[in-house]
Amino acid sequence: MAPHNSNSIEVGSAWSACTNKNNNDNDFRSGVEELPTSSAKCECCGMCEEFTQEYIKRVRETFLGRLICGLCGEAVNVEMEKNGGKREKGLEEHMSVCVKFNSLGRSCSWLYLAEDVKEILKKASRTNPPHPTR
């Protein structure tokens, strides 16, 4: 069985190392060769996750050189569909939401909620013109 490598790596300027954890559980994977992994933070949401070098390479190829977690990758794909299949636009949209949330939502969640309600009302007023009064 290959040794589990939990060393942090530098994979880009927007990534920072996460706390290293040693996984000493003897779980159902005994006998299965583990690939070396490293802890890193997602460029979008900041969530720490374990990544293999193969995964990092694949994600960078898919998401224009950015390293993002699987959850953010799915969100980018949804945004991409909304924007006519343009990956760059989908990535830009999702990253702007995450940056906004990380700067405002984590410290003042009620402000983030108020901002969302404001956006919903703006969208609703554009799609539903006011009814004439009788």
Q: What pLDDT is attached to residue 35?
A: 77
Please list, in sequence order, all residues whose beta carbon lies within 8 angstroms of the beta carbon of residue 9, skipping any fewer than 6 positions away. 17, 38, 40
Q: Cβ(87)–Cβ(64) under 8 Å? A: yes
Q: Record the tokens describing residue 101, joined without a space.
A: 């949330």
Q: How many CB atoms lie within 10 A of CB 104?
A: 13
Q: Cβ(80)–Cβ(89) under 8 Å? A: yes
The answer on pLDDT for 128 being more than 60 is yes
Mean pLDDT of 99-125: 76
The answer on pLDDT for 23 being more than 90 is no
Q: What is the CA radius of gyration of the chain?
A: 20
Q: Record the tokens describing residue 83, joined without a space.
A: 């924007």
